[in-house]
A and B are shown apart, each in its own frame.
Chain A
Amino acid sequence: MTKPATFSRTIFFITSLIVILTLSLTGARQASAADIGLSINPPLLKVVVRPGKTITNVYKVENLSSTNKILIARLIPFTTADDQGNPNIDPRATAPWLGYFSLANSFIKLNEPFEIKSGQSEQLILSINIPITAPLRDLYATLLVTSYGNSVASSLQGTTLSASIGSNLLISISSSATPSTILKITDFIPEEGKYLKIGDYYILDNITPIFFTAKARNEGDFTAETKGIFKIERNEKEPINMQSVLPQYVLSKSQRKLANMEDDKFYFTPRVGLLGKYSAKIDVRSESSNASTQIDIIFFPGKILLGLAAVLIFLNIIIKFSFSSKTDTSPY
């Protein structure tokens, strides 16, 4: 009876092993279909700080993912990427003035991981301590909060993603609440292909809608704001069209496309009776800077004259054709 008992135990053991192995092979691993979702507010901070002063700003970071996330908060200097207000953030960039920044949280530090549970949020209390000896200038940085994978894939054949969300800081170190800026309006022209330029005059058709583009260049050491007016005026004092300029920030030593309040090009629709010399003008004014530029434009009924010419030519052809027809109808 000993052998059969041993045999039975062996069969039972092998069967159990097979079942366990089968389950381990066919049982699905815990698969995560989660998103990576982050939000931060405020997304932009513009502040003037006197040397020797400390300010704090609270950021709310929320984990919108369906799983807990490990995050790291960093401060990265940025530069302007283009003339549309986008930052160029190089994650490896550094600057000595990054030492002015720290987190006043008890448990969360810059450049150290922390966890936010799914659907929860954390406040990051950013302290900005400007030394009394700090040079008077602007500092541009992004508070970047990055999510990393919660697990390490031992044999990944492919790419790992990380999602970062950033809030931009435009900090002016100045002893004045409204530091002076040097703003200039450049590249103020009508839409390409819609004008004829003679000398300093832009000849525009008087029934064709026209766009105008312009840029603001900040040659100063502090951020400027583009609040002002675009206008078409006659004799430089009788405006016939006026549009507000969209307030935007122009960082130091950079330029920015100007836009109307719809964040579009300045747009003007002339009317038939509009003839002669006018001027298009942009006035940008702020507490710390003023800039103005204008171009001379002449509204000319080009399309109307072309139309009339076409009609005359057409009539002329008809008349000639009529005469020639009459001549041809002669019996001889």
Chain B
Amino acid sequence: MNLSMKSVKSIALFLAIVSLEIVSIFTPAFTQAANLTLTKDTLQSSRISWAGRVKSPTIAGSAHVWIYTAASAPYNSISTANLAPGDALTIGTGSYTVESIVDADEFTLTANLATGDADDTDPIYFAAKPQHVITFTTASAVSNGFFQVLLPADATTPNDGKPDDGGFDFGAGSITLTPTDASGYVFISAYNAATASGDTGCTAPANYHCFEFHYSGTGGNGVAITLTIGNTTGATTPIAPAPAAAHVGTADSYKVIVKNFTPGANPNTATPTDQTSTSIALIESVRVTATVDPTISFTITGVASGQTVCGTGSTTDIDTTAGLNAPASVPFGTMSLNTFKTAAHLLTISTNATNGYTITAVEDDQLGIGGGTTPAIIDTACDSGPCTHLAEQSWETASGHPGFGYSLGAGTGATMAFSNANTFKTKQFAAAVETEAPQTIMSSTGVSDSHTGYICYRLSVNATQAAGDYENLITYTATSSF
């Protein structure tokens, strides 16, 4: 008991230190999981899937599909707004391709519906399969661990290969996982695992698909990590959700969770070292359309002499490609008695108007001296006539059959009003002065791209024709059909 006061203090200090050590050994500090930062799930496309229903009067053997405009979960797509030409659809059990969108509740397919695929309420699916690129920054160094990504899944049918209204569908197949190595993280592809919601090892949390990315290395703090789920072709990619119930044109939002585990941890039960969540939103695609202005264009081109454009046996004598006002004139020049002179023009028309076009011709009057009324070169009556402005006849003999008329020669695409039949089938021009309606010479009932046709003019005079310069005016009018 001769201990000095100094000794007592030393012993007390020693015991205090030992006690603290013991307490510290038996009472480990709680580890607080940190947040992974800058976490994003970038989708290849934010386009939502489509799940609707066939509606009567859709029938097998037709390519025309009507859809229900009232939702009945899980078929909440009630408009064609998220469909586009070229989309691959599953209708009933068959595979089809959208050809065109008719309106809000009708579209057409490239092939007719098969029996059994056109029944009322048969399902229609379009599966959007966007690749997921998940990026984040680590919060701590976990050596030789693994990352787990959880994608929200449907509660009832998470892996049937059809779009769901409650989350991503696993796709009834394999999923490609592609991590990118980073400093301290060398990923081991063989250990990657993609497990559908509810399958072994992917039960908690419920209704999530599980994707594990295992790595070797020391890990690190503040390292940017990139993990990819699926491929860009959609072949091994989860199916994006279809519209959720009560989806009204706004985006459906889903939560994606990312966790970092230590090696050997059971992700169903273990607490991750670090974790975070991020949200993704899916919405109908915007159907991009481009408008091409409807238009109609019409061109008259001259035809050189020596051409056979209105049937064999009728060669053009007059060159309408050159000269004053060419090609807007037919300069017959000085006529020999009882001899034909023939000239021609090429008419070209294009229109993207769906109902096609018509070209009509009308003359102001018969060829008259100085453009006057009399004397006139009469409109021809043809050989065994009479041909009229409504009915064509052959006109191959100049002598004894004077006058002025026209024939038609086929070009490309257009429907000509009549055929020359190689005998210079001829009509008179309708005469405005006689209140005759302009006559159609070329037409088409659909879109036309550079339809062409020839019009050939023929003139013959006899000895009784008074001398002078004879003229008239022919008007060609091109209009679209309505």
Contacts and interface: CB of A to CB of B under 8 A. Distances in A.
Interface of A: 29, 31-44, 46, 60, 62, 64-65, 81, 84-92, 142, 144, 146-151, 153, 155-168, 170, 229, 231, 239-244, 248-249, 251, 259, 263
Interface of B: 57, 59, 61-62, 64, 102, 108, 293-302, 318, 321-335, 343, 345, 351, 353, 355-358, 360, 362-363, 367, 404, 432, 435, 437-438, 440, 443, 445-446, 457, 459, 469-482
Nearest to B334: A157
Interface core residue of A34, A90, A151, A244 (most chain B CB under 10 Å): A34
6 contacts: A37-B300, A43-B479, A60-B293, A159-B472, A163-B298, A163-B300
Contacts of B108: 244
Contacts of A150: 325
Contacts, number: 227
A164 B475 contact: yes
Nearest to A244: B64
Contacts of B323: 29, 31-32
Contact of A35 (B102, B299, B477): B299
A81 B417 CA distance: 14
B335 A166 contact: no
Contact of A81 (B325, B440, B472): B440
Given A41-B295, A44-B480, A158-B471, A36 B327 contact: yes
Contacts of A60: 293, 295
A36 B346 CA distance: 11
A17 B61 CA distance: 86
8 smallest beta-carbon distances between A and B, as pairs = A39-B297, A41-B295, A43-B480, A31-B322, A166-B479, A37-B299, A85-B481, A158-B332
A41 B331 contact: no
B473 A160 contact: yes
Contact of B469 (A41, A43, A84, A155): A155
Contact of A87 (B57, B302, B479): B479
Contact of B299 (A64, A85, A86, A162): A64
A92 to B, nearest CB: 6
Given A42-B293, A42-B295, A156-B329, A85 B432 contact: no
A248 B356 CA distance: 11
A147 B446 CA distance: 26
A162 B473 CA distance: 7
A146 B296 CA distance: 14
Given A31-B322, A41-B294, A242-B57, 18 more contacts: A29-B323, A32-B324, A32-B325, A35-B302, A37-B300, A43-B353, A62-B297, A84-B445, A84-B481, A85-B482, A90-B432, A157-B333, A160-B474, A164-B478, A166-B479, A239-B59, A240-B59, A248-B355
Contacts of A229: 57
Nearest to A247: B354
Say whether chain B's binding surface is mostly helix, strand, loop, or mixed.
strand
Contact of B474 (A29, A42, A142, A159): A159
A87 to B, nearest CB: 6
A38 B356 CA distance: 17
Nearest to A264: B445
A63 B305 CA distance: 27
Contacts of B480: 43-44, 167-168
A68 B363 CA distance: 24
Contacts of A148: 328
B333 A87 contact: no
A156 B469 contact: yes
Contacts of B57: 229, 231, 239, 242
B78 to A, nearest CB: 21
B296 A43 contact: yes
A37 B301 CA distance: 8
Given A157-B332, A161-B330, A229-B57, A149 B299 contact: no
A229 B108 CA distance: 13
A39 B59 contact: no
A151 B323 CA distance: 11
A89 B293 contact: no
Given A39-B297, A43-B296, A161-B300, A34 B475 contact: no
A84 to B, nearest CB: 6
Contacts of A89: 360, 438, 477, 479
A165 B296 contact: yes
B329 A158 contact: yes
A149 B328 contact: yes
A275 B59 CA distance: 19
Interface core residue of B108, B432, B480 (most chain A CB under 10 Å): B480
A85 B457 contact: no
A167 B479 CA distance: 6
A42 B325 CA distance: 29
A251 B482 CA distance: 9
Contacts of B404: 159
A229 B333 CA distance: 58
A54 to B, nearest CB: 23
B64 A242 contact: yes
A81 B479 contact: no
B476 A164 contact: yes
B298 A160 contact: no
A61 B218 CA distance: 73
A34 B343 CA distance: 16
